[in-house]
Every structure is written in C-alpha cells, then in structure tokens.
Amino acid sequence: MEEVKLIIDGNNITVPGGSTVLEAARSAGIRIPTLCCHERLEPIGSCKMCFVQINGCAEPQQACKTRVQDTMQVTTDSEQLFSMRRESLRELLLRHPLDCPVCDKAGECLLQDLAYEFGVTDVHQHVNATFETFYPTSLIRYWPERCIVCKRCVTACAEIKQLGAIDIKGEGPTAQVYPAKPERCESCGECLQVCPTGALTENLSRYKTRPWLSKRVMTTCTYCGCGCQMQLNVMNNRVVGMTVPNVFGVNKGSLCVKGRFGYEFINSPERLKKPLIRKNGTLQETTWEEALGLVASQFSRIKKEYGRDSIAGISSARCTNEENYLFQKFMRAVIGTNNVDHCARL
Amino acid sequence: MAGLAAAFGSGAMTNPIRDVLSAKSILLTGTNTTENHPIFANYVKEAIVKNGCKLIVVDPRKIDIVELAHIWLRPRPGNDVAWINGLLHVIIRENLHDEDYIQNRTTGFDELRACVEKYTPEYVSGITGIPPEDIVEAAVTYGGSKPSSILYAMGITQHTNGTNNVKSLANIAMLCGNVGVVGGGVNPLRGQNNVQGACDLGALPNVYTGYQQVANEDVRSKFAAAWGVDHLSSTPGLTVTEMFGGAERGTVHAIYVMGENPMVSDPDINHIRECIEALEFFVVQDIFMTETARLADVVLPVACFAEKDGTFTNSERKVQRIRKAVDPPGEAREDRFVIAGIARLMGFPLEYPDTRSIMQEIARVTPSYAGITYERIERDGITWPCTSEEHPGSPILHVGTFTRGKGVFTAIEYKDPAEVTDDEYPYILTTGRVLQHYHTGSMTRRGTGLNRLYPELLAELNPDDAGRLGIGDGEMITLSSRRGTITVKAKLTERSGPGVVFVPFHFSEAAINVLTNSALDPTSKIPEYKVCSIKVEKASM
Ligand code: SF4
Ligand code: SF4
C-alpha cells in the first residue's frame, strides 16, 4: 500500500494510505480524545469527541472518519476544539446520571475519565424519558439511564459476531439499546466488553467488587481449545468477575459465554474439600495421610500380585501440561507401565 | 489424531487460528464452530464478511454458521469418506490439482486417483443424498480459491472410520497444495482446553513427551536416565477403552483417574459401570463428586485451574500460562502434590519446588518443547515445535517439507458406519455439545448463570419426523438403542435433518451415552459417538 505524508501538530508523519487521521495521530503518539471508537471496531462516529482542524476545511472534522491525504495539515488541540469537545461531552452527560458511587464501572469508565479531564461538573441530568430495560441475555443487565448511545455494543454484536441481536431504537434523548433479534443472542458478552460506561454490567456474581479493590490475575480459559486469555478478578480469595484486556492472545478481548460467565463453579459449595475413602460401602471423609497411604499400599500390593501392567492411569485434557507430565512419569517410572491415556478421543 | 499423523507426520493443527484471515476459501466440516469454538468462529466470520473468503460447510445439521456459507452440503451422518472422495474426483477431473506440489512433496497419488475414479458426483449423491451439482460446486470452490483452510472437529473423528475421514481430508488438502502455506492447512479443533497438551506431554499409551515412541530403545534409555530408573517398559500400553475392557476381563486390577469423568463422557456407560465395579481398586482425583468419583474407593480433592500455576497448550499448539489466583477450597490440593505424595510413599521422589521447574525438565527431555520457558511465555505463548531458547516457535507446520518427509496420499474406499438404521431402529442419533455447557457439565452446570440459559436436556428432532410420530415441541419422548433407553424433552427444529436426532452429552441425569455405540475406530480407538441407530417414541405418561 502506498504511503501518505502529512503534518499533525507540526510533526511530519508517514502512514499507509487509507489510514484515518485518528490512526495517524495515534501512530505518532498524539492523543485525540475519543469515546465511541474502539480498536476492534470500524469507526462509529457517534460521540463527537475527536474533532480536529484540517487546513482547507472550514469546519472541524471527525478524526475517526477522515482519511489521510498527502500534505494534509492537521491541528488536534486548540481552544475552539477544546470547547467543542467539552460541549459534546456535556450533551452525553445530559442523559447520564452521575451515579458513579454506585456504578460497577466507576474507576475504569471512559466517560468518567473524560468528564474529569474536561472538568465537566455542572451538568444535571434532565432527560426523564422512560426506558425499557429488556436485554437479550439474562447474564447482562442493561441500565438505559446510563447509556450514552455510543453504539459500541450494537457495532460489536453486528461486526464481530455477525449477529445483530441488539440495535438502537428511538431518537435523540430517548434513544436506547433494545433486543432487536433476541433469539440470535449467544450471551457472549462482546457488547459488555466494549461498553465504555456502566450501562451494561455483568448480572451474575452476587459478590461485586470495585476495580481498584480487586486483584487481576492473567490466565488461560479452562474450557475449549481456543485458549483465550483472560483476567480473573479476585477479592478476599474469591473469583468475583472476569476482565479481558483487548491486546492479549488469540481472543483480543473476546470471550464466549463459557469463558466470560462460566467461573461460578470455582466457588461452588459442591467442590470437594476433603479426601474420601470407601468404608463399609460408603465414601467417608478422612485425612490425606490415610487416603494417600491407602492408595500407595494398594498400588504396591496390586503391582506385586498381578504385575505392573495390571494398573492403568487416565490423565486429563483438563489438567495442566506439568500435571500430565508428572502423571505419565508416575505411571511409567513408579508403576512401570505404559498404561496411560486420557479422554481426548472424546 | 492418528489420521493426520499418518499423512503428514504430526497430528496437530497445521496453522494458527488467525491464519484463516489469509484464506481464500474455508472448508468447515464436523465442527459446530460457533458453539464449540466461538472465538475461532469470530475469525471465520471476519474472513468471510471482511475478506470475501468463500465458506463451504459440510454438516448433517443445519448449524448456525450455515447462514454465512456459500455452499452447504448435507450428507447423512457417517458418509464422510464418500463426499470427500467425490470432491477429490471432481478436483482431478477439472484439473484443479497442484501437479508440482503432488510431484515434489507427496507419494501415493496414482493409487488415490485410481480409487476416486468411480466416485463421480452421481455415485456419491446416491450414498450421501447430496445433489451432484453441489458436490461439483464445492469441489470447484475449494480447488479454485487457494489458499484454502480445512477446519474439522469431532464430527469427523467420532466414527468407526474416523481415521479414514481425517486421511481423506489430508488427501484433499495435499491435492491442492494447501499444506505448509499461510492461509491453508488441515486444522483439527480441540474440544477440551488442554487436549493438545495432554497428548504432547505423553498422556498416551505409546509415546513419551513430544511423541517420542516408547518402543524406541534410544528414547527409552534417555528417559530412564533422566528419571533415574533402570528399566522402562517397551510395550505400548492400553487406551482408555482397552483399560475398561481389561477390567472386565480381569487383566487390569486398579485404575487411577485424574480429572476425567468417563461415566458421562464414554460410550455405553452401563458397560463402563460394570467394568469399574469389577476392579479391585479405583482412585479418582477431581474437583467435584462426579458420577465416576461416586464409584471410587478413594476420592482425592484437587485444585481447579484458578488455584494453581502451570501451562495449557491450545489447539494451535501455543503453550500459554495459567496462574494461581485463589487458594483451593478446604483441604483440596494441587494435582502435582497428590501425585508426588503417592510416589513418595511408594519410594520414588516426584517433588518439584514449583511448576516452573517441571517445565524445565519437560524442556530437557522434549525436543519440540526444548525452547519453552516460563520467562519466554510470561506475556505471550510460544507455538511448538520450539527447539531452542533462540527459536521463535513454529506457527505453521510442514513448510517446505512434511514432518515425516513426503506427505502420504491414502486411497480409501467408503464403508458404512458400524450401525446402520433398520426397521426397528430407523433414526440416526448423533451427539455433541451446546454453546452454554462444557463436556460432562461438571463445571458449567454448577453455576446459576449458564444453567439459566440452557437448563435441561433437549433432543433436537426434525419437525417432519415429529409430525409423523405425533410429537409436539416440548413433549417428552423416549429414545432407545440396542443398548439402552432415555427419556428427554423434544425440541423441534430444522437444524436436524430428516431421520436424524441430535442430543448433547453434558447431562448426567439423562446421559445420552447410555445409547451410544462403543464400536471403535481400529486405529484411533475413538468410539462412534456421531452415529448410532435408535427408535423414537412418545413417552408414555
Ligand atoms: S451478548 Fe453477544 S450476542 Fe448477545 S447482544 Fe451482546 S454481543 Fe450480541
Ligand atoms: S472463552 Fe470460549 S472460546 Fe475462548 S477458550 Fe474459553 S471456551 Fe473457548
């Protein structure tokens, strides 16, 4: 692809033809505030935050939708641009309550950050429309009064998933997200992932945490072979949520319903907590010492009585590489048999 | 994945997931990708919608991805070799095969050509029910839009002729020069998160780590030295299914299970129960009291993925970290401590200071993992083969030459599935997964969230068949095979073709594997889950 040279805030920049002004600015480390645009989605252009001045254009243009041209000269910051952006932000906040103290998203909310940056303190929500809160999946809660109708969610569902389960209905201050084709929803949470505010929240965990209170541990999904990367949110030794950075792994921020919402089993009260051995026909709680002692002595006895190959081990496609390695080493080196397999055939 | 290993020298996915974005066409078969590998499905969708890639779907069920397909072929379950031979026939007839590639990189082409001679579109149509013109169109699309990527999963392997099905797919990929190139390949999608890793790390009866044969003396002495033992057995061991058979015959006396639930996942589970009951000693190590654990003499509670460090290897052979986030509940321990505890009592030390040092030992004894260290995969995983610490990893296999040297074409004749329908059992039962649940359901069915979305077992039935049987949507029906009977709720849907019933296997209370056939593929030993004959009746109240 041919290259295009342009000047942004006095810097000479070269980018591939077809790039947007926003992409060009970012490639040079110049920040233009944005709200609706998202690295995994095509430009949306709903938030009106990214205005820039371009030499030869009378009106400021949206950086996310304007393609670069050779010799273009762009200004990203000026008094006029600042007040335009501030005005756009005020518009958005007109329909957004400042309920940050009770919102799950507070602390990692793009809208909150921008309101802080632009010093918008004097907006009082005055949209009093009645909204519908229906959402196509019970795993996500929609808070229409917090929704700024940026369309990220709708775009993600349509572009990444090709599903179009949700759409926008209504105009201006009464616009809202609604389940356009609820039967198509896969509960993937792609919409939740891209929402910049607290308008979509996970509707699962009874235990909630604020972003600054929980620890986040990067790990790999335990379900299918895609191997998605994810962060477990931990509070008080309990997994209470899931976040997904947009840059890691094959999934780049996506997950499916199992990966995103399937963590409840970790805290299940049905988890086994003590070793059990069968006594008089029933399984009864015991100590590790007794349980391991019994296993070791039975294995030793059976090996002696019937030979090494009378014992077999089934390892697991759910366990780690290290555990599978140890298991087969145990069967081969300690028991002395190659009778080791796992259920991958299934 | 014996079929791919025979053809190419390695049974793993040949290309990375992202690679489908470079494909000009995709042949997707025996995988309900949107439900079972949703993230892979995102890439397939992007390839089609944004890059104009052509999608060919071959599946007896009208799965969701069919709506994006350019061509959908609907064979009857178990007919795979027939339609693939049909594609091979047309590609050769239309001269769409890659002569140079065949000449330089493969063997066995002449036998293949002779074998597929008779598989004309009309002949194949007679076996599969696919219209002849659709077979031609699929063949011309695959052969004419290169590179082309083949994606498949258990819909291809879970048959008595599963290995042949896979070899057939390898045939078609080599025929068009699609192996070892960006955007091409033959890609088996792994159902469980670490199937690839379990295979790589030697949880197989005939190989140590990295597919090093137990029958090879040099390999054996290397492992004996590394592990500090005098002797290692040179006889390949038993597969899971043979282990249970051994229990029944009295040659296997004890089985040690780590984290598997064959009482739901295995075929013909009434039989499995009898086998387990015949054992003298049965140990299960798991996070839940599974149906299998209930039969054990000793049950050992262990940590789940969020409670330990380690690595998983995904479908695309990428080794990635998992990290401990919370402590295990109660007295549950990590599996490695349990194994080491038993070993110590048997007089063998298996303790390691941490999982990092286990990986160091793995790297020392496994050429394909030799360059993998926790330091290198801290931020992003590495794809094996990775033969030294300087090696960047190998996202695409078989570039320039196949792992085994030349790629092997195999001439394969079509054979009927082990069990065919008859007057008494006129319907075909096929099993699989649904989006919201995982494997035997022991994890996904224990939260409120996922269960809320898919709370009960549903048998998918074609509306025409239901009409004939007088069955309404949501009514209870009984399904019976030669092995057992279950009662389930019916869901009428066009997704099931006429004469075909689909039932997911996540539900232990109505375990579908009471019905399935334990007939095995002779090479891979994979049971024939995808096809068995049943009868369908309205449940008597
Ligand atoms: S959960 Fe997924 S499918 Fe459902 S509306 Fe959100 S993005 Fe669309
Ligand atoms: S999030 Fe879904 S697609 Fe990703 S690894 Fe987990 S189960 Fe697979």
CATH of the domain at B294: 3.40.50.740
Percent over 90 (pLDDT), chain A: 36
Residue A146 contacts residue A103 (beta carbons within 8 Å): yes
Q: What is the structure's pLDDT at B512?
A: 65
Q: What is the structure's pLDDT at A155?
A: 94
Length of chain A: 346
In a domain? residue B411:
no
Question: To which H or E segment does residue B286 belong?
Answer: strand B281-286
Q: What is the structure's pLDDT at B527?
A: 59
Strands A73-75 and A51-54, sheet pairing: antiparallel
Torsion, Cα B283 B206 B36 B12, to 10 degrees, reads: 150
In a domain? residue B489:
yes
Cβ–Cβ below 8 Å for B203 and A315: yes
The mean per-residue pLDDT over the stretch B490-498 comes to: 85
In tens, the pLDDT along B318-332 reads 999 999 999 999 999
Is the domain of B310 the same as that of B383?
Answer: yes
In 3-state terms, what secondary structure has residue A345?
A: helix
Which range of residues forms the domain containing residue B279? 238-300
Last residue of a domain, one of B300, B317, B341: B300
Q: What is the structure's pLDDT at B444?
A: 65
- CB of A228 closer than 6 angstroms to any ligand 2 atom: yes
In a domain? residue B410:
no
Is the domain of B6 the same as that of B148?
Answer: yes
Strands A276-279 and B298-301, sheet pairing: antiparallel
Cβ–Cβ below 8 Å for A312 and B237: yes
Arithmetic mean of pLDDT over chain B: 86
Percent over 90 (pLDDT), chain B: 43
In a domain? residue B450:
yes
Is the domain of B162 the same as that of B219?
Answer: no
Q: What is the structure's pLDDT at B302?
A: 96
The mean per-residue pLDDT over the stretch B408-418 comes to: 82
Is the domain of B27 the same as that of B129?
Answer: yes
Distance from the alpha carbon of residue A189 to the mean position of ligand 2, in angstroms: 12
Q: How many domains does chain B have?
A: 4
For the ranges A334-343, B211-220, B258-267, which has the lowest average pLDDT? B258-267
Smallest CA–CA distance from A304 into chain B, residue: B253
CATH of the domain at B176: 3.40.228.10
Question: To which H or E segment does residue B90 belong?
Answer: helix B80-93
Last residue of a domain, one of B300, B330, B349: B300
Is the domain of B116 the same as that of B261?
Answer: no
In tens, the pLDDT along A91-142 reads 888 778 777 877 778 778 888 888 888 887 776 666 667 788 888 888 899 9
Mutant choice from A216, A318, A340 vs B, greatest count of B C-beta within 10 A:
A318
Arithmetic mean of pLDDT over chain A: 88
The mean per-residue pLDDT over the stretch A55-71 comes to: 88
Q: Is residue B297 scored above 50 in pLDDT?
A: yes
Distance from the alpha carbon of residue B350 to the mean position of ligand 2, in angstroms: 32
Q: Is residue B232 scored above 50 in pLDDT?
A: yes
In tens, the pLDDT along B280-290 reads 999 999 999 98
In a domain? residue B397:
no
In tens, the pLDDT along A4-15 reads 898 899 889 899
Is the domain of B149 the same as that of B268?
Answer: no
pLDDT band at B365 (very low <50, low <70, confident <90, very high): very high
Q: Which residues of B touch A219 (CB under 8 A)?
A: 305-306, 321-323, 325
Is the domain of B296 the same as that of B343?
Answer: no
Cβ–Cβ below 8 Å for B447 and A341: no
The mean per-residue pLDDT over the stretch B160-170 comes to: 81
- CB of B42 closer than 6 angstroms to any ligand 2 atom: no
- CB of B325 closer than 6 angstroms to any ligand 2 atom: no
The mean per-residue pLDDT over the stretch A198-226 comes to: 82
In a domain? residue B400:
no
pLDDT band at A346 (very low <50, low <70, confident <90, very high): very low
CATH of the domain at B482: 2.40.40.20
Q: Is residue A40 scored above 80 in pLDDT?
A: yes
Contacts of B468 (CB under 8 A, 6+ apart): none
Q: What is the structure's pLDDT at B267?
A: 64
Q: What is the structure's pLDDT at B284?
A: 96
- CB of A219 closer than 6 angstroms to any ligand 2 atom: no
Is the domain of B104 the same as that of B155?
Answer: yes
CA A170 to mean position of chain CA atoms: 28
Is the domain of B85 the same as that of B178?
Answer: yes
Q: In what order do the strands lie in the sheet with B54-58?
A: B71-73, B54-58, B25-29, B148-152, B186-188
Is the domain of B162 the same as that of B248?
Answer: no
Q: Which residue has the higher pLDDT, B416 or B453?
A: B416
In tens, the pLDDT along B428-448 reads 888 776 666 555 566 666 666
Q: Phi and psi (nearest 5°) for B497?
A: -70, 165
Residue B322 touches chain A, beta carbons under 8 Å: yes
Percent over 70 (pLDDT), chain A: 95
Cβ–Cβ below 8 Å for A310 and B313: no
Of B68, B283, B321, the CB nearest to A295: B283
Is the domain of B443 the same as that of B507?
Answer: yes
In a domain? residue B401:
no
Q: Is residue B162 scored above 60 in pLDDT?
A: yes
Cβ–Cβ below 8 Å for B298 and A329: no
Distance from the alpha carbon of residue B2 to the mean position of ligand 1, in angstroms: 38
Residue B253 touches chain A, beta carbons under 8 Å: yes
Predicted ipTM?
A: 0.86
**Interatomic CA distance for residues B454 and B491, integer angstroms:** 13
In a domain? residue B47:
yes
The residue nearest atom 8 of ligand 1, judged by CA position, is A157
**Interatomic CA distance for residues B90 and B144, integer angstroms:** 12
Percent over 70 (pLDDT), chain B: 89
Q: What is the structure's pLDDT at A345?
A: 53
Cβ–Cβ below 8 Å for A319 and B258: yes
Q: Is residue B510 scored above 70 in pLDDT?
A: no
Is the domain of B482 the same as that of B531?
Answer: yes
- Cα→Cα distances B53→A255, A271, B68, Å: 23, 46, 11
In tens, the pLDDT along A262-282 reads 898 898 899 999 999 999 989
Q: Is residue B88 scored above 70 in pLDDT?
A: yes
